[in-house]
Structure 1
């Protein structure tokens, strides 16, 4: 080890004294750490002199066999490159946040003649106003429902709007003023748009005052129907207002980062305060962490704020982090105005930090208690079936057909015992006409594995819903695909005794293993059995739903052909 480090020291002494990124590789040539530096030579030297006292350095340096550098034009460029390389290599000793690209935001383009609120998944610099992103889509849709019922803005796309000949149903139920076809005062419409943005900013009092004035004015003019409409909108807005907790009456925008940690398990909570109200909270978990709390906070901040996220004026943290001036400068360049980091000791900001820490603790309990339970079950599963590794990612393949017609297949994905629905897939089987489960299983497994050869995304264990024949078909597909993968077959026990048993009595599960002619009967009360059943039942539900939809489409098509 010492001779290896001496050799590395000699190479580091020749590194450029320029900004850039360094990559550390282990004996298998795998990138295990990516870092950035204003001065590459000076920064990497600290790993050998003991000047870098971070917790994980000792473990990191035991594994380092090679260090590479990439020179950048500036420290800012180095930061961007570091982020890209971490995303690409996913190094063991770097902290990574889950990408929130799927989160929704609200977009309003005030440059349009008749602006509208639209949902988008990406924030771009196009001159429009964006609000979000929002973690939970149901909260966002509830907010839009409040705005649509309070303010008569259009909701249709530009294509529909500019081609409509008469007002739609939204106009009839008084949720749209009908600017597509009717004479609507542009200034009044702009006022509604302004009110919508005020609601999104949490400034509901301004909109409430305006609605109350309109209600009283309508009542004085004996326009009781209009007065009733304004009253209903006012009450709706007040109910919505009570759902948001007021933290400060001065309307500040802040994000609060807090961490909770036990040994190598950590949870991070980011509390988002807009206009004095807590509007959102994002939680992240980090299993098997080998870095310091400071590194977790710093790395999380670097990844949390990109060009597509709203940056507040103030960021509250509980501990001091390195490169604070660099972080403030980077965020200032992204935001256009200054951003301040605060470590509070008392007052409202300290209360906010405490609230974020409570959220981090709750997320830790919810996440890692479940993970510990799954780890125990998965270890027992691996022992029972003599697997080469403890499976974290388990997939299950199932087939559905009706007398050989509309044959479809599907596979579901579970990670640490939790459904990963975004990676579920459905398959239309090419060989229709006869009920051949074996060829259908072969096709689904072969297509699934050949796709994995492109992406490198393989399951730790693949469950086949069926007996020995289905398992052998899957094994053949795996061999033809040229993939190494562990498979098992899961089926209900069949015997003469069971056929004579009461119908209410559940049939035991049995598992078929590769190379074994006989099956293993599972204990119906074991957690391993319950896990396998849950995965298999989810695959069955998913493929049956797909089969019904496919069958319905074919029936409709047949009826249309007969017209």
Structure 2
């Protein structure tokens, strides 16, 4: 490690807590080789009960908490949120529709008919009674689940005694829905209302940390992480570093349970309290129910890591089989698969999926909005050229950029102030829900860090001391971490025939890329799976044996690229379908747009409205009305 050090920079902070926050910030930005780096930084989904509408909506939420309301979570997966929301709708009959859908209803929707909504949109329930349902739901999600269920059971018994059997039946169904929420959870603590449980295990130099979330005496799911860490570090050291990065913008539970005691427990507790404004207890229990929760997490960690190692070994064999089938001498560490999707050139997108020894590397997926003005509609070859030109032009720029990174005092000042990492011009889509993600999986140093919005600037004094590094006998040149996932592909796989293959070779030759192998896969006659034709440089087109594992693996890669491309295309097409002409008018935001559409029904009717009619719309002043009127009449000519 010392031999690889070119220079050292020292930053003095006022307290150990500030030093801990700054250290975590730098690790997340720079991803140094010898530090523990949390690889999966995807945000968790929450349940949101909105607070900006007379009839609050219950929905799932991921990302920044910009909307007014109460957030409950985190949940380990969208599946867990959807399952819980389904039961909550049956238990509390809260609406899940959007505000615009709510405001335009003239009769109850299907959810009311199947008893998953109380119908506040059309007055099927009074505002007072609906507010009571919202209060009960918030109480249940806040940890008063037993009290809410007991209250419902008491009301059910009272209704039955009063011979109000229909009301008693409705309450019975709601109690059953609440019981279903708690019965589906698996591990349910009796005495631990709220806790995050972390269990770590190491095998073969690979670390696995299993995280369980317990809220309102219920298990809200779990997720496994595989942090990148030096093998010389102990489980306790890895777990401590992981905790500091995990609670980046995520408020921790009141109780954090660990499978290993950590050295700086008190320092982390102080940092969390300073950041989030509430006391957090960190403990490594040795007995009792809390230890049982930790043991359950440890058991899951062992199972998950064993499966991960087995899958990695299998994946490496498949990559080696593909290299052999294509006649490649290099070891395949990163395979990039490209595909395009469009309808006669409209909403054209290119997609790149990435695979390696760890399977599909979804955080490296990229999409490209194809915007070439000289492209003929439906020109697949031209689209592929644009996608590859943008991808490899950027890759070529990143190499010298990293070499020219600021050094010494400038670098330290930039890191301390939290300068943002340069963003990618490619559209990055999350694979599960096609939602925007951060470019290249890099978390900027600025922004929300460990719950603090903006860079870490609370230090009263910053002293940066630097000097030339001491001479070493044989300084080694910095080398790429052999275990790090490479940014440059070893193989490009194109979903297409000879034309796509030649287009790819041309653009790579134009960019001077000569060290990347290229292959193309063309669908067989009648598009039958198993009859694909392969194109590889220096060989005649060939087929693989029908039962060859390499064939199945390449088909999976091709199908994943196709799925990702068409999913992105559909999302873009859907967005265009829902686009309104009002979106093009400066000064017309969501509220005014909603008011205008509510008054006139459609954009077509709005375009025919007289200026006097526009001025009568609530919330639209004379200036805005004139702006809308002029826009439509100039447009219609």
Q: TM-score range by the shorter chain?
A: 0.7 to 0.9
1:372 aligns with 2:313: yes
C-alpha separation between the residues in 1 aligned to 2:176 and 2:515? 60
Verify the 8 A CA contact 2:60 2:81 in the aligned structure 1. no
- Please report the RMSD computed on the Cα atoms of aligned residues, expressed in angstroms: 4.1
- Tell me what 2:466 maps to: none
C-alpha deviation, 1:258, in angstroms: 1.3
1:510 is aligned to 2:534: yes
Is it true that 1:298 corresponds to 2:240 in the alignment? yes
> Could you tell me which of 320, 340, 344 is aligned with 2:261?
320
Secondary structure at the residue paired with 1:344? coil
Per-residue CA deviation, residues 290-333 of structure 1 (Å, 9 max, x unaligned), is 23212210011111223433x22322223232222211111222
Partner in structure 1 of residue 193 of structure 2: 252
Partner of residue 86, structure 1: 27
How far, CA to CA, are the matches of 1:270 and 1:75 in structure 2?
27
Whole-Å separation in 2 of the counterparts to 1:394 and 1:196: 48
- Counterparts of residues 236-247 of structure 1 (less than 5 Å): 236-245=177-186, 247=188
Encode CA deviations 1:493-548: one digit per residue, 9 max, x unaligned: 99xxxx9xx998953643412xx254566455443333223212333455567789
Conservation of the 8 A alpha-carbon contact between 2:196 and 2:213: yes
SS of the residue 2:168 aligns to: helix
The answer to which of 410-419 and 453-462 deviates more is: 453-462
TM-score, normalisation: structure 2: 0.66
User: In structure 2, which of residues 363, 387, 391 is the aligned counterpart of residue 448 of structure 1?
Assistant: 391
The alpha carbon displacement at 1:138 in A equals: 1.6
CA distance in 2, matches of 1:505, 1:67: 57
- CA change 1:340–1:537 in 2 (3 A) is closer
Q: Does 1:462 align with 2:492?
A: yes
TM-score by length of 1: 0.73
CA distance in 1: counterparts of 2:575 and 2:6, whole angstroms = 59
- Cα deviation, 1:250-308, whole Å, max 9, x if unaligned, reads 34322222111123112111222234333221211246742321221001111122343
If asked which structure has higher relative contact order (CA below 8 Å, sep 6+), I would say: 2
Residue 100 and residue 197 in structure 1: after superposition, are their counterparts in 2 closer, same or farther (change >3 A)?
A: farther
Task: State the match for 2:518 in structure 1.
Answer: 488
Residues paired across the two proteins, number: 488
How much has 1:196 moved relative to structure 2? 1.1
Q: Extract unaligned runs of 5+ from structure 2.
A: 398-422, 425-439, 441-486, 578-637
What per-residue deviation string (whole Å, max 9, x for no partner) do you get for residues 123-157 of structure 1?
54988432112121121112111111221333344
In the alignment, is the contact (CA less than 8 A) between 2:523 and 2:532 conserved in 1? yes
Say which structure is richer in strand: 1
Deviations 1:468-509 (Å, cap 9, x if unpaired)? 543331122234446566131234599xxxx9xx99895364
TM-aligned CA deviation for residue 111 of structure 1: 7.6
Change in Cα spacing, 1:285 to 1:188, as seen in structure 2 (3 Å) is same
What is the alpha-carbon distance in structure 1 between the residues aligned to residue 229 and residue 390 of structure 2? 34
In the alignment, the residues of structure 1 paired with residue 575 and residue 220 of structure 2 have an alpha-carbon distance, to the nearest angstrom, of 43
C-alpha contact (below 8 Å) 1:123/1:308 kept by paired residues: no
User: Which of 86, 91, 94 is residue 145 of structure 1 equivalent to?
Assistant: 86
Give the conservation status (yes or no) of the 8 Å contact 1:109–1:127.
yes
Note if 1:411 corresponds to 2:351: yes
Q: Which residue does the alignment assign to 1:538?
A: 560
Deviates more, 1:244-253 or 1:260-269: 244-253
* Matching residue within 471, 476, 482 for 2:506: 476
**Structure 1: unaligned runs, 5 residues or longer:** 1-59, 556-563
The answer to whether the 8 A contact 1:149-1:233 is kept is: yes
Structure 2 counterpart SS, 1:138 = helix
The alignment partner of 1:395 has SS state of strand
Do 2:192 and 2:290's aligned partners in 1 also have CA atoms closer than 8 Å?
no
Matched position secondary structure for 2:180: helix
CA change 1:407–1:372 in 2 (3 A) is same
Within 1, Cα distance between the matches of 2:175 and 2:127?
23
